[in-house]
Structure 1
Amino acid sequence: MRRTERLGLVAAIMALLAWSGTGCTVIPPTGPVTLNDISAGDPLGKPFQRLIPIGPRPEWGIEDTIRGLQAAMAAYPDDSSVVLEYLTPTARATWSPAGPVTVIDDAFTVALPAPGDGSEIVQTVTLKGSSVATIKEDDSYVPAAGQWERPYELVKAKDGGYRVNALPQGLLLTSSDVERAYRSTNLYYLNRSTEDRLVVDRVRLRMKPGERFAQTVLERLLKPPTEALKDAVSTSFPIGTTIESVTSGEERVVINLSGPLDPLDLSAEDAVRAQIRYTLNNNDVAKGRTIELQVDGEQYSVDRPGSDEHWLDDSGDSAYYVSQGAIRYLGKDTSGAYVPGAAGEPRGGYSKFALSKESTALVAAVTSTGISMAPLTQGGRWQEVIHGEKLTAPTWHRDGSVWTYDRDADVLLRYDPAAGRGPQRVSAPKLDGLDVTRLRIARDGVRVAVTTGKNTVQVGALTGEGPGLVLGNLQLLTTTEVGFEITDVAWADDEHLLVLAQSKDGQILNEINVGDGETVGVPLKDRLESVTALDDRVLAAATTEKGTKILELNQDRQTWTPQIDSNAGTPLFPLG
């Protein structure tokens, strides 16, 4: 379990405790109650508490009625009838639960109208709180911030209580509601351009009473990805594929599919198996068990623990660093040795180095006139491949091409060494007119992190192929606080981006999940110049009185250990 997942579990428990303590303000002693619908011991399930709501009571005032309505909204997908009890016929005819789910902080307030003479037929109140997020209809979780408020109109009921006569569209949930009933879930699709690599798509899925979480996850996997990956990924499941059943024994999970899967198409079988395996295993469902896939009850494929892991291959894990313009190895047996060729020769005028995947062994760097490239081989020489005086640092795609953004011409450029021609323009309409300062392609070959100006990070995706290639789907990931300037970004893995920011008072290093914005701060002691990462390994260049040293973040994610004490520069990982 990743560190961030452990933190998320603790937060969920604390939120549940907070919810159970605050719900008593509007609920009589008999309700609502919570029931364990899914046992923690179910290998295909996830434990959660189901909320049983109650309808409005004659003795309730305006605030109790509003809070009861909100609690009923939290349980709406399990029991849709109770919410309607709070609404007048007029509200029932106009209100719809469809659309994005609004999530606010638990500590919302109900601003009551000024006391009247008791003759008022209609009372208008305002719910006020802090925005937390929106859960969109594609199940993506989008963090939000700032103050939130919405008006609700109530009328006196014949029984002496109140009913809601007008309210905003959609469901309103609190943070605790989401922690109780939703689970962060990683879905795995195929890289659209090569279909040889999986791409993770993070969603929030609601638990369904009576249904194992494994089945909930797999049914969502059969649907299209979120908007962030639209047209950037594909799936191995033919249209019409359905999940008939999911069962398990002590060592085996059996998934019975139905649909037009071809048992003779071995490449599709491998991809189907990979999408299911990684989706289940990386959500701690069915982990360590053999997964048997069936089609209409007949065996289709068997996936055993420890199967080939090439679907998440990151194309090399060797570490390097730059010293006096030359690239050196960073390893137990080779630390300090120069790489072969011109890239291993000390020289000035080269900066912002980037390495391709190890199988192609190429390095790119910025010079005063453009971007040059050199193979890490004996006799390898530097060659300028992209000309320009204001180019962002190069970044490599897993297909072997090197990318940069020409800030003078306001254009995205891609150079493919195998194509035998100069750099090609790539459409990026959402970047037009923006001050693009950095570009980093993730190792999955799909997602792209873009920094604009001094303090904004957006994440997009590469869609289309060939001449139709586009950098699109751009969404805001983070904006630093006032006074901070982003100094470096690096992909840690397919779903986490490291963002290093500097102010006059110090630095911050955040690890941000690009799927849902979850942010974890990394403690710093030394002043960092740059950062690079690969899965759980994080390297950084730090400034000292003796020059620059290389640090590595320890497994506790709290402390750093020196790897090179002096005369070192930027650390590098392949495709970093």
Structure 2
Amino acid sequence: MRRIRRLGAAIVLAAAVTCAGTGCTVIPVSGPYTMSEPGAGDPLTKPFQRMIATSPQPSWGPEQTIRGLQAAMAAYADDPTVLPQYLTAEALKAWTPSGAVTVLDEPLQFDPPEPGGAEPVQRITLSAKQVARIEEDDTYVPQSGNWERPFHLVKVEGVGYRVSQLPDGLILTRSDVDRAYRPTKLYYLNGSTQDRVVVDNVRLRLKPAETYAKVILERLLKQPSGALQGAASTAFPAGTKIESVRFGEDEHVVVNLSGPLDLLDLSGEDALMAQIRYSLNNNDVAKGRGISVLVDGEPYTSYQPDADDQRWLDNSGNTAFYVSKGAVHHMTKEGPGGAVAGPAGEQRQGYSDFAISKLATHVAARTSTGISMAPLTTQGGQWQEVIRGDDLTPPSWHRDGSLWTFDQKNRVVLRYDPAGKRGPIVVSAPELDRLRLDVTRLRIARDGVRVAVITGKNTVQVGALTTMGGLKLANFRPLTTTEEGNEILDVAWRDDEHLLVLAQSKAGQILNEINVGDGEVAEIPLKDRLKVLAALNEQVLAEAFGEKGKGPKILQLNEDLSWTSKIDSDVESPLFPLG
């Protein structure tokens, strides 16, 4: 299936371009190539075009001066000496480049200077559509709406206009960001189970003097973005440094580290290598190559490419299930399959919203009095109510074997651990509690870290299971909101980065795939009315309303975005383990 792809391809190296009247020049940085151009340069980096800004000119008017200032902002990371020349001494003393980067769409609009053009002080307003904000933790946050900012300029005799007041932070255009930044996937460790890597999507600025590979690994040494703060950890000890990233023999990638790593202690080397190789390979840097890690030039650990080694991205099987007349069944390639072993495979009434555990060893379902679970085994067993309550959201399994739900009546998150031999515990969710949010659906991602919740009828929020200071649901931020009068019906984790969101509008249903890292949306066309979603990577299933007299059916999404019927009638929820 066609998936969302963020900007990752190389920018074509072009001839130098002069920005007329703004004092900026875009020049290509020579030398690097991407892996898609084999044998043509260094695949450890990415080509990009560097912005070269020039000083303000005495002949420039207010608009030209502000355009030059914006160009100097685009070049600031590579050359911080030009931008201060656009500011008065007082403005320079008060200004700092730190803070979020504002990303504007083009063209930029300038209101004419206010009356009094002959005066030494001018006020000019810059306006545009804002498309994003890049936070200080490198998170790319899409924005929409109008943006404007007034600038005050002072004319200095023989020198020209200077900006007398400038709010903190940088203002870049979309083309500035496309030119110098790259969407980057960083991989950290699952904070609770330490058995899986978790992807963190950021935007990193390329550096002319460093390879993209080194830029990635230097950022990997820092804390994850705010979305994963307290939820993901690292195998790199504090104080580790990236000394170099280069090619060795047989085109191995050689990463030389320095710092407190102990060459005699290899207890964390597997996890450390997982962070390095996924962060390099999944950004199309050194993909398919072996990797050697040195510490102060001495061998520490190495990795040889192995297509079957996916344990650090383990999703625990891809078997699909479905429910028919209250009994759970396996789904085959052709469609209908046999009932599962044990009590879950027996027909019964009053059970709904089924969920399958990580290794498909247990099934959970909601009843009128709470949530019950049963083993998927031929060795007996029975349904057992493990969480009591008459207003609980559908159950969701965590990869550690625990079962989660939200008690809507008491507004608390509940977690039941079968290994704990005791009843459910309340998990702190301070942000949900503070806002008194009405949670109608809670789904934990297969990475064991991210959590999606539907709040009310109109909003999907994404948070994380944090472990610092005790287990909490935190770091929530809105992912998508429907218009008033519409309703979000269901959500399903497709993979670590994408959430499927089914919404009902006045005009009909909408199914979107949303990247939780940068908010990009791809709409999936619908023909039938859907009720329930289930997904696992390329597999997307849905329960759809059937024809009159036939009952619900299960549909499968094809690669060409069309839908085909897997089971035609008398079925309910499609299921995958976790998600």
In 1: Cα distance, 2:313 partner to 2:172 partner: 35
Whole-Å Cα distance in 1 between the matches of residues 310 and 259 of structure 2? Answer: 27
- Residue 141 of structure 2 corresponds to residue 137 of structure 1: no
**What does 1:139-158 correspond to in 2, within 5 Å?**
139-158=138-157
After TM superposition, give the deviation of residue 192 of structure 1 in Å: 1.6
Give the match for residue 555 of structure 1: 559
- The residue that corresponds to 2:401 in the other structure is 400
CA displacement 1:363-390 (0-9 Å, x = unmatched)? 1111111111111112332111111010
TM-score by length of 1: 0.94
Check whether the contact 1:531–1:538 (CA below 8 A) recurs between aligned residues. yes
Aligned counterpart, 2:95: 95
Match of 1:475 in 2: 477
Runs (5+) with no aligned partner, structure 1 = none
- For residue 219 of structure 1, give the secondary structure of its aligned residue in structure 2: helix
Name the SS for the 2:570 alignment partner. coil
**Matched ranges for 1:221-370 at <5 A:** 221-249=220-248, 251-306=251-306, 308-332=309-333, 335-358=336-359, 361-370=361-370
Which amino acid counterpart does residue 129 of structure 1 have in structure 2? A
2:527 and 2:2 map into 1 onto residues whose CA distance is 23
Q: Is the 8 A contact 2:2 2:559 kept in 1?
A: no
**Cα distance in 2, alignment partners of residues 317 and 415 from structure 1:** 24
* Post-superposition offset of 1:215: 0.2
From 28, 38, 44, give the equivalent of 1:35. Answer: 28
Deviating more after overlay: 387-396 vs 490-499: 490-499
Deviations 1:441-498 (A, max 9, x none): 1111111111100111111111227x92111111221212344210000111112111
| Residues 243-267 of structure 1: CA deviation (Å, up to 9, x unaligned) | 1111015531111111111233333
| Offset, 1:65 | 1.2
Residues in 1 aligned to 2:8 and 2:312: alpha-carbon distance in whole angstroms:
27
Shift of 1:330: 1.0
Which position in structure 2 is the counterpart of 1:182? 181
Distance 1:182 1:350, change over 3 A: same
| 2: CA distance, partners of 1:203 / 1:33 | 24
Q: What is the rounded CA distance, in whole Å, between the counterparts of 1:547 and 1:162 in structure 2? A: 73
Question: Which of 496, 504, 507 lines up with 2:506 in the alignment?
Answer: 504
2:264 & 2:536 partners in 1: Cα distance? 37
Aligned-partner SS, 2:193? coil
Deviations 1:498-526 (A, max 9, x none): 11111121111111111221222212222
Question: How many angstroms apart in 1 are the aligned matches of 2:484 and 2:270?
Answer: 49
Q: Does 1:565 align with 2:568?
A: yes
Following the alignment from structure 2 to structure 1, what is the Cα–Cα distance between the partners of residues 565 and 267? 45
Asked if 1 retains the 8 angstrom alpha-carbon contact of 2:446 and 2:495, the reply is yes
CA contact (8 A) 1:151 1:168 kept: no
Checking the alignment, whether the CA contact within 8 Å between 2:22 and 2:71 is kept in structure 1 is no
Rate the CA distance shift 1:499–1:320 in 2: closer, same or farther, 3 A.
Answer: same
Residue 547 to residue 170, structure 1, CA distance change in 2 (3 Å): same
- Partners of 1:169 and 1:27 in 2: how far apart? 21
- State the secondary structure of the residue aligned to 1:33: strand
Greater shift in the superposed pair: 468-477 or 286-295: 468-477
Which amino acid letter does the alignment assign opposite residue 186 of structure 1?
Answer: K
Contact 1:447 / 1:459 at 8 angstroms: preserved in 2?
Answer: yes
Identity %: 62
Matched letter for residue 298 of structure 1: E
Per-residue deviation at 1:158?
2.3
Amino acid corresponding to residue 455 of structure 2 in structure 1: T
- Taking the aligned partners of 2:398 and 2:242, their CA distance within structure 1 comes to 35
* Compared CA separation, residues 334 and 570, structure 1 to 2 (3 A): closer
* Residue 532 (structure 2) aligned to one of 530, 533, 537: 530
SS in structure 2 opposite 1:544? coil
Whole-angstrom CA distance in 2 between matches of 1:491 and 1:553: 15
Partner of 2:375: 375
Counterpart contact for 1:198–1:312, Cα < 8 Å: yes
Give the alignment partner of residue 575 of structure 1, picking from 566, 575, 578. 578
1:68-125 per-residue CA deviation (whole Å, 9 max, x = no partner) reads: 1111101110111111121122221111111111112122211223343x44121111
Alpha-carbon distance in structure 2 between the residues aligned to 1:56 and 1:559:
56
Secondary structure in structure 1 of the residue aligned to 2:192? coil
Aligned counterpart, 2:440: 437
Q: Is the CA contact (8 Å cut-off) linking 1:154 and 1:163 kept in structure 2?
A: yes
Shift of 1:161: 3.2
Q: Is the 8 A contact 1:152 1:168 kept in 2?
A: no
With 445-454 and 35-44 compared, the bigger mean Cα shift is at 35-44
Q: 1:421 corresponds to which letter in structure 2?
A: R
Q: In 2, are the aligned partners of 1:37 and 1:210 still within 8 Å (CA)?
A: no
Q: For each residue in 1:277-333, what CA deviation from the matched residue of structure 2 results, as whole angstroms up to 9, or x when unmatched?
A: 111011111101010111111111110101632111011210111122211111227
- Give the conservation status (yes or no) of the 8 Å contact 1:498–1:512: yes
Alignment of 1:13-28 (within 5 A): 24=19, 26-27=21-22
**Are the aligned partners of 1:38 and 1:209 in contact in 2 as well (CA < 8 Å)?**
no
- Check 1:567–1:24 CA distance in 2 against 1; reply closer, same or farther (3 A cut): same
Mapping 1:448-527, distance limit 5 Å:
448-464=451-467, 468-527=470-529
> What is the RMSD computed on CA atoms of the aligned residues?
2.1
The answer (yes or no) to whether the contact 1:36–1:50 under 8 Å persists in 2 is: yes
* Correspondence 1:424 to 2:425: yes
Alignment of 1:53-72 (within 5 A): 53-72=53-72
Q: What is the letter of the counterpart of residue 413 of structure 2?
A: L
Q: Distance in 2 between matches of 1:121 and 1:334?
A: 78
- Residue 560 of structure 1 deviates from its aligned partner by 2.1
TM-score normalised by length of structure 2: 0.93
Counterpart of 2:82 in 1: which secondary structure?
helix
Q: Residue 52 of structure 1 aligns to a residue in which SS? A: strand
Contact 1:231 1:464 in 2 (8 A): yes
User: Taking structure 1 as reference, are residues 206 and 38 closer, same or farther at Cα in structure 2, changes over 3 Å only?
Assistant: farther
Q: What is the number of residues matched between the two proteins? A: 564
In the TM superposition, what whole-angstrom CA distance separates every residue of 1:192-249 from its partner, at most 9, and x where no partner exists? Answer: 2221111111111001012100000000000111111111111111111111111015
Aligned equivalents of 1:276, 1:313: Cα separation in 2: 17
Q: Which segment drifts farther, 82-91 or 394-403?
A: 82-91
Q: Please name the residue that 2:389 is paired with.
A: 388
- Ranges in structure 2 where 5+ consecutive residues have no aligned partner: 34-40
Structure 1 range deviating more: 452-461 or 257-266: 257-266
Contact 2:355 2:364 in 1 (8 A): yes
Equivalent-residue separation in structure 1 for 2:124 and 2:484 (angstroms): 35
Tell me: CA distance 1:422–1:198, structure 2 relative to 1, closer, same or farther (3 Å): same
Matching residue's letter, 2:21? V
2:38: which partner in 1? none
